[in-house]
Chain A
Amino acid sequence: MRNIIRLGASPRISSYYSVVGSSEHEGPLGDCFDHFSLDDKFEKDSWEKAESEMQRLAVAGALKRAGLRDTDIDLLLAGDLLNQCVGSSYGLVDFDIPYVGLYGACSTCALGLALASLLYNGGACKRCACVTSSHFCASERQFRFPLEYGGQRTPTSQWTVTGSGAFIVSGIGDVAVKEIVFGKSIDMGISDINNMGAAMAPACIDTIKRFFEESEHSVDDFDLILTGDLGYEGSKILKDLLLSEGIDIRKIHNDCGLMIYDRKKQDKHAGGSGCGCSASVLAGDIIKKLESRELKRVLFIGTGALMSPLTLYQGGSIPAVAHLIHLEVNDYDS
């Protein structure tokens, strides 16, 4: 059992809510999201505060959809990309819920859902909320260049999604979390901040291989294998390298980073990335498709590039992690 953690108590995703910015609203999934703002500042005076506001809106929305109050929730697991996770800590002060800050870069959505499911499964919490976010402008400032800086992006670079997704995990709901595989921190020596897909793909490959080595399921049992934000380049590497290891996921693979933008119409290079990418796509699209039985069994693998500008300047490369959760509609018994 070193790899897969099976959840006998079958924690469910009881509620979810997605919040996005203008570019995401203009993308192919635009109508799926619960809340959008054409003003990427969300009426705040800094990008960081805007990100916090998205988390607040997402958690409030998820509570409302479930008909719950904040005091009904036992624990709030939250994370984002900003230093010291300020997007979460500032955004969630209004809620009367014990708070745990998480960091897993763009894998944080999967990490939060996995931990919430485990806490429910072990009986520690009856209801857990998890929320993650990212904001293009805040990330750009922290990790790359000033917004008005004139530079060209390379084709493999990814675009941080302005968005947030919140979930409530409890015993009620149609979508169950069945299995979890936590990823390892894997560093294959990639140091190009503009090719994060390549930095994250090996971690994702490792997690998927460990899952299928131990699982009773084969690739064909799933309707969708959804990676977080490998983007165009990382997705291709993932599919090619898994194929060379005898695991063919080409027919059922998709990537949140590829779904959220129209790469032909929107100038987003290799696709979306960030904690808000997988969270908003999962909450806005995938969970709804599971509830409607359009999808029945989904592997969701949140991928995170655990890089810091500091270690990059020191000549370091980018370690990555990928956490897997197996989602299933709860009456699925084939």
Chain B
Amino acid sequence: MNKDEYKEYVKRRAKRSASPKNCGFAFLIGGAICTLGQALHDLYMHLGIHEQDASTLVSISLITLAGLLTGLGVFDKLAKIAGAGTLVPITGFANAVVSPAMDTKSEGYIFGVGAKVFTIAGPVILYGLFSGVIYGIIYFLWG
């Protein structure tokens, strides 16, 4: 059996079918987080906050909630069930920032927490902003 045949053999064995259970939980929990976001949004609007600020406040609220749950050691247990349901909403971003920070405090607050807080969030911020800049150039020239 050569390399390619073996890779094919392993791939065939470990072939994963889309799990309806995973997708179901992702849908339910992800949907629930977005609905919570909508409820918070309506609440902030009701309090007379401007539309755009209300959106930012929703993000901040969900990030704070997810960050706290990460700190309390609950988030990873929820995410094990929810999968993409907690990853894709802004909660996944918060967890990706808080979890490496907590993990690296044994290496100190500069090279540990300070640097590693961006391990997973760094790429998200970089490529998000970079695509924003590209869009900005296009928008500025032809918008």
Chain A–chain B contact at Cβ < 8 A: yes
Contacts of A241 in B (CB 8 A): 1
Q: Are B99 and A147 in contact (CB under 8 A)?
A: yes
Q: Are B102 and A148 in contact (CB under 8 A)?
A: yes
Distance, CA A236 to CA B12, complexed state (A): 13
A49 to B, closest residue via Cβ: B106
Give A146-161 interface residues, CB cut-off 8 Å to B: 146-152, 154-156
Contacts of B96 in A (CB 8 A): 149
Q: Are A190 and B76 in contact (CB under 8 A)?
A: no
**Closest beta carbon of chain B to A61's beta carbon, Å:** 27
Q: Are A195 and B10 in contact (CB under 8 A)?
A: yes
Contact with B along A217-228 (1 / 0, CB 8 A): 000000000000
Distance, CA A152 to CA B21, complexed state (A): 13
**Closest beta carbon of chain A to B23's beta carbon, Å:** 12
Question: Which DSSP category, helix, strand, loop or mixed, fits chain A's interface?
Answer: loop
Interface residues on A, range: 20 to 34
**Closest beta carbon of chain A to B131's beta carbon, Å:** 22
User: Which residues of B line the A interface, CB within 8 A?
Assistant: 1, 3-4, 6-7, 9-10, 13-14, 16, 22, 70-71, 73, 75-76, 78-80, 82-83, 86-87, 92, 95-96, 98-100, 102-104, 106, 119-120
Q: Are A45 and B1 in contact (CB under 8 A)?
A: no
Q: Are A156 and B95 in contact (CB under 8 A)?
A: no
Answer whether residue A112 sits at the interface, using C-beta atoms and an 8 A cutoff: no
Contacts known (A155-B16, A189-B3); A149 close to B95, Cβ less than 8 A: yes
Q: Which of B6, B7, B100 contacts A149 (CB 8 A)?
A: B100
Contacts known (A151-B79, A152-B22); A146 close to B102, Cβ less than 8 A: yes
Contacts of B82 in A (CB 8 A): 150
